Amino acid sequence: MQPGYREVVLPIRSRYLDVARELLGSSIESLGFSRDHLFGYRRFLGEYYCFWLAEALGVTSYSLLEQSTIATALARAYAVLVDAVIDEHREDDSKLLAMANALLRGSIDRFGKLVGDRDLIQNYTNGLLAQAEETERNEQERHWHKLQSFTASDMMTLGKKTSICFLPCIALCLAAKRKDLIPSFISFIEARNVAVQIRDDIADWREDVARCNFTLPLTLSLQPREARHLSYVVQEDVAINLYSNGVIDSLLHLSNQYLSNASCQIAKLFAPLLKKYIDGLRRSNGEFLRRVESLRLSRHHVLTGDLVLSPAPWPAILEFPQSVRSRPMNVKEVAEWDNLARKLHPRAGLT
């Protein structure tokens, strides 16, 4: 059973705030982000992450769970701050980076104590950070200001984007003397990452248009637009294709495919909480698909054709159903679709 929030998680959260204050020399609120967001309230890389992993590994030590959860929260806060520097170009970038690095060192110290080898954890962390830089570079080279089909390699990049979320599972596997399970957990997390990134990109597509970051939803919605016209992308054109031409349905089905792949990676483990999490995402996708179909039918838009995916383990969309529309979408209808799409974002509290 998932541990009670008040009885178990809140005391750990309180301890984490004390540790963060020691590392930063000031309260966590001084960073300008909400406590909930930094701690991972209702997020995968968050408050229950280590409890889920520990259950699958047979770890029952409360001390280990407490220290690994604090270390995970510190690593998450590091990732949040670095993402803010990359995405927002804030005036206090250098200060945020210094604080982020302090939090990461604290995380490495604590994971190192759990494993009994700080240097080993540092080496794993260095590899994960290098992987994060490589995936960011690959994404920018292929899809920023460029419209190119997403291949299996691109889908693999999506799976490796949030590299810091691999660190807790590596550390817990090492602490539990189950190094053999690291590949399965990493494959599980990679597949989960793709499934959730697809949802995020649907929810954030307007922001991505503004940044000329041609994510998978935008790429499918704009094909076969010629490259020289990319600077003239009209958001309502994207909305029509994304919402009424079968793109959003295909993306949610693809997300479910990756969730199925994730389930396969932990099928042989006793991991009911991780499986419950994946099942919850699959049910959420299913509910959205039903709402999408209902909304489309009410507008008399009919899909024809089939969804065609490339082979596993990194399936990509090769063909998707197209819509036969009786009439174009109006502003009110687009707004209705936008409201639905935004509920796929992690801020909705599902991922």
Mean pLDDT of 134-147: 92
Share above pLDDT 70 across residues of the chain, in percent, rounded to a whole number: 92
Pick 3 or 111 by higher pLDDT. 111
Percentage with pLDDT > 90 across the chain: 62
Higher pLDDT, 178 or 6: 178
Q: Say whether pLDDT at 22 is over 50.
A: yes
In contact, 314 and 152? CB cutoff 8 Å: yes
Model pLDDT for residues 211-259, shown as the tens digit of each residue: 889 999 999 998 755 444 555 667 877 888 888 888 999 999 999 999 9
CA atoms within 13 A on the CB side of 347: 8
Helix (H) or strand (E) holding 300: none
What pLDDT band is residue 20 in, cutting at 50, 70 and 90? very high
Q: What are phi and psi of 2, to 5 degrees?
A: -65, 135
Q: How sure is the predictor about 42, in pLDDT bands with cuts at 50, 70 and 90?
A: confident
Q: Is the pLDDT of residue 33 over 90?
A: no
**348 within domain boundaries:** yes
Pair 104, 125: CB distance under 8 Å: yes
Asked whether the beta carbons of 114 and 120 are under 8 A apart, the reply is: no
**Is 148 within the bounds of a domain?**
no
As a whole number, mean pLDDT of residues 132-153 equals: 93
Mean pLDDT of 132-155: 93
Map tokens 């009885």 to a residue: 7
**Looking at the domain assignment, is residue 340 inside a domain?**
yes
Q: In this structure, is residue 12 part of a structural domain?
A: no
Is pLDDT at 292 greater than 50 in this prediction? yes
Residue 247 lies in a domain: yes
The alpha-helical segments, DSSP class H, found in the chain are 10-24, 35-39, 49-57, 62-88, 93-115, 118-143, 152-160, 166-175, 182-203, 205-211, 216-222, 235-244, 247-265, 272-298, 331-342
pLDDT value of position 228: 46
Per-residue pLDDT, 233: 66
Look at residue 94 and tell me whether its pLDDT is greater than 50. yes
> Domains in the chain: how many in total?
1
* Peptide bond between residue 224 and the one before it cis (omega within 30 degrees of 0): yes
DSSP result, 40-88 = TTTSSSSTTHHHHHHHHHT---HHHHHHHHHHHHHHHHHHHHHHHHHHH
Which pLDDT value is given to residue 140?
92
Exposed, middle or buried, 33 (CB in 10 Å: 0-12/13-18/19+)? middle
64-78 average pLDDT score: 96
C-alpha 334, offset from chain centre: 26
* Residue 71, in any domain of the structure: no
CA angle 342, 35, 339 (to 5 degrees): 10
Enter the pTM of the model.
0.92
Strand partners, 241: none
11 within domain boundaries: no
Residue 307: domain span: 178-212+231-351
- What confidence score (pLDDT) does residue 184 get? 95
Tokens encoding 134: 């490589």
Arithmetic mean of pLDDT over the chain: 89
325 in any annotated domain: yes
Q: What is the pLDDT of residue 225?
A: 54
